[in-house]
Amino acid sequence: MCGHVVGAGFDVVAFDIDPGALRRAAAAGVKPADSARECARDADALITMLPAPPQVQDVLLGSDGVIAAMPSGSVLLEMSTSSTAVGRLLVEAAARRDVAVLDAPVAGQSVGAQAGTLAIYVGGEPEAFERVQPLLAAMGDPDRIFHMGQHGSGYTVKLLLNLLWFIHSVASAEVLSVGVLAGVELERLHAALVSSPANSNFLQRDLRPVLEAGDYDEAFPMRLVTKDLGLAIDLAREVGLPVELSALVEQIHRRARARYGDQAGEISPVRLYEELAGIELRIGPAS
């Protein structure tokens, strides 16, 4: 994502606690910094992409918090998958420095980040959204950059789309495993479902690496999957709605994490059903 912003003609200063990540950013044309605060001091816009709400709060509001170093009139583009509660704290702190805040999490997996085709879901003031359009367009697909409304709405949409995707993952694993055990050839079953009213993007596209190569997508590990699902369940609790199916799907993913480890791929729940059924869900590559 840094590389795409550089490629769009922006001067970018970047920091990461992982020296390897910082070296890769430098190779893409980014000026390395010694700290996050150094990135913020003279920036018109600061972009953060962090693992979870605790890191967002620590980096931006902690003892060496970055918001305190941002210039008046700048924009914070917070692109993590985080919580609306932490988002509210950011908005309050930024307002005291005349800094605009946008929550702008992304979807599209690592391939979308590499290709510059991410979908981006933005919450915050329309004026700030318009100001950062060139940055968003550098990292994402211009046709899939959505202003969702007030502060926190970007975070909300990202949590909900992740939740629905993980529900599709479990549902697809169950359906395909039952069908194969019942004697239907997997490739025919998959093709029939893709051509049916029950089709989904997950079934048609995202599941194919598992079906074709046993690739459960380690680019997004289970430790982050369960974090996102936990945040989605917390959101449902905050609005006071019972979500029995979502809670069960969260627990299935936590079981997969316990079974295969923190770094296991995000589609690892499929492995649970493969083990239960005593099969591997594999077909030939798409023609």
E-strand ranges in 15-139 read 31-32, 45-48, 75-78, 100-103, 106-107, 118-123
Distance of CA 215 to the CA centre of its chain: 19
Q: Name residues whose C-beta falls within 8 Å of residue 55's C-beta, 6 or more positions apart in sequence.
A: 80
Q: Name residues whose C-beta falls within 8 Å of residue 234's C-beta, 6 or more positions apart in sequence.
A: 83
**Catalytic residue selected from 4, 158, 190, 257:** 158
* Sign of CA pseudo-dihedral 48, 53, 59, 61: positive
227 labelled catalytic = no
Query: Could you tell me the two tokens for 111?
Result: 């391939």
Q: Name residues whose C-beta falls within 8 Å of residue 73's C-beta, 6 or more positions apart in sequence.
A: 98, 99
Which residue(s) pair with 41 in the sheet?
none
In this structure, the number of other CB atoms found within 10 A of the CB of residue 193 comes to 18
Among 24, 28, 22, which Cα is nearest to 6's?
A: 28
What Å distances lie between residue 173 and 3, 52, 137, 170, 279, CA to CA? 36, 27, 35, 5, 12
Phi then psi for residue 251, to 5 deg, are -65, -35
Query: Could you tell me the two tokens for 27?
Result: 């190779």
| Residues belonging to the active site | 158
